[in-house]
Structure 1
Amino acid sequence: MNIPITDEVIEQLRAMPQHLQWRVLEFAQALAKSQVRGTSGQQLLRFAGSIPPEDLQLMCEAIEQGCEQVDVNEW
């Protein structure tokens, strides 16, 4: 079953009390005003393959070693 998103949202809204409907409306308005930030993946493709495989391996090893450590005094 493939229900369009807008229909699904409306169905969910109808089941909510009015105060929650207002919250959804405010959230939707905030999303509509927000701007997408960052760089598109298409623009970053020119960098693909620019890191040597040996460096990538070193990075992977550093991440694995660092992520396996727990610093109990961190907090």
Structure 2
Amino acid sequence: MNISIIDEVIEQLRTMPQHLQWQVLEFARILAKTQVQGTPGQELLRFAGSIPSDDLQLMREAIEQGCEQVDTNEW
């Protein structure tokens, strides 16, 4: 079964109450006006290799020490 995204959205909208349909419409309008922000990756390639390897090693170690731990009380 190959349903297009538009058809799937329409199918979902048909089952929603009208106030939710309005919310979906407003959200779609906002998304349509949204502009992509940021810098394309191609433009960032000129920075490749610009961080000294010693600094990269320090960053790697800091990440491993700080990110590989689970705090079960965090949530």
Indicate the TM-score class for this superposition, using the shorter chain for normalisation. 0.7 to 0.9
- Residue 59 of structure 2 aligns to a residue whose secondary structure is helix
Query: How many angstroms apart in 2 are the aligned matches of 1:38 and 1:7?
Result: 31
TM-score normalised by the chain length of structure 2: 0.74
How much does 1:55 deviate? 2.5
Aligned length: 71
TM-score, scaled to structure 1:
0.74
Match of 2:18 in 1: 18
> RMSD value over aligned CA atoms?
2.2
Ranges in structure 2 where 5+ consecutive residues have no aligned partner: none
Identity %: 76
* Paired residues for 1:64-75 under 5 Å: 64-67=64-67, 68=69
Q: Which runs of 5+ in 1 are unaligned?
A: none
